[in-house]
Amino acid sequence: MTAYRDAVRTALQTLLREDERVFFMGEDVGRYGGPYAVSKGLLEEFGEDRVRDTPLCESTFVGAGIGAAIGGMRPIVEVMTVNFSLLALDQIVNNAAVMRHMSGGQFEVPIAVRMATGGGKQIAAQHSHSLENWYAHVPGIKVLAPATVQDAHDMLLAAVEDPDPVFVFEHQMLYGVEGELDTEATPPSPWKAIVRRPGTDVSLIAYGGSMHKALDAAEELAKEGVSAEVVDLRSLRPLDKETILESVRRTHRAVVIDEAWKTGSLASEISAILAEDAFYDLDAPVERVCTVEVPIPYAKHLEEAAIPQVEGIVRAAKRSMGSG
């Protein structure tokens, strides 16, 4: 069994060993070993040219990574938590995302940006929000949300190989989660959703940290005779509409779990997709389980009340079945 953080580190080691164009940089990724202990030992193995501690200035080091990518390097940039990435939105949205388009295809921007996201660790509002949909909204970049140990490894490899900017959102509650890792297996496409648990009565659609809560909710529902299918979105841009629609056409009910706020969320987009393309397949309105629209509280009991939990997913599934 391998921890999620160790799977990411294994992918980083592979990339740094196999491609001299790859380098890794971010705040505290070198001597400290990373705020989530992902990069421990990398500085000692690869040296300061390949593993670079940066100043506390996201606009600078994300911008430098974009420039390095345009210049032919394969940078991997770690942003400590998603809120800090907002300081680099100009570089991301107005440079990385548009360069291929504005150059008529002459320039690629093969940068991979990793960042921790999500709540649950009591690090208060500034460090606990889920802003993945802000990035999934932007054409020109790709967005991945690995929920499993295997995906944490495989998706980083795919992100670095991709010619476009790829943003990888790692839920901070997953770093210590353990699972099987097969570094020799041929990975599935990172841009396709996966059905993690088949079912016939209701589709639970989730990603990242919420995917595990959806699986737990499916277990609880099974005890009451409800067969819940769990769909792991995996890629948020591009979004795999086909797998979502196929699942809902089987179950005829949908619950979308999204740790972002409900207004303008990815859950809203998926609900719109189902209304546009599967309206007559639905036997009940789409249910959304999202974070309460407040800054994430610091107090543990309030934080737990604010973000999606298994009990709320179960209740939403029961409502869609007409028994909630």
- Please give the full DSSP string across 263-304, using - where no structure is assigned: TT-HHHHHHHHHHHHSGGG-SSPPEEEEE-SSPPPSSHHHHH
pLDDT 10s digits, 170-194:
999 999 999 999 999 999 999 999 9
Q: Span 143-150, mean pLDDT? A: 98
Domains recognised in the chain with CATH numbers:
2-179 (3.40.50.970), 194-320 (3.40.50.920)
pLDDT 10s digits, 4-47:
999 999 999 999 999 999 999 999 999 999 999 999 999 999 99
Q: Span 253-275, mean pLDDT? A: 97
pLDDT 10s digits, 302-317:
999 999 999 999 999 9
At 269, the pLDDT band (50, 70, 90 cuts) reads very high
pLDDT 10s digits, 103-136:
999 999 999 999 999 999 999 999 999 999 999 9
pLDDT 10s digits, 61-71:
999 999 999 99
pLDDT beyond 80 at 242: yes
DSSP 19: -
**Structure confidence at residue 324 (pLDDT):** 60
Catalytic-role residue among 27, 78, 127, 132: 127
Catalytic-role residue among 18, 27, 48, 58: 58
252 catalytic residue (yes or no): no
The SS3 assignment for 134 reads helix
The SS3 assignment for 94 reads helix
58 catalytic residue (yes or no): yes
Average pLDDT, the chain: 97
- Cβ neighbours around 86 below 10 Å, total: 15
pLDDT beyond 70 at 271: yes
At 323, the pLDDT band (50, 70, 90 cuts) reads confident
Q: Which helix (H) or strand (E) holds 3?
A: strand 2-3
Could you tell me which of 266, 256, 305, 225 has the C-alpha nearest to residue 131? 266
Tokens representing 40? 């421990």
**Structure confidence at residue 31 (pLDDT):** 96
Please provide residue 114's backbone torsions phi and psi, each rounded to the nearest 5 degrees: -100, 145
Buried b / exposed e over 113-151, threshold 16 CB at 10 Å, is: bbbbbbbbeeeeeebbbbbbbbbbebebbbbbbbbbbbb
pLDDT 10s digits, 189-226:
999 999 999 999 999 999 999 999 999 999 999 999 99
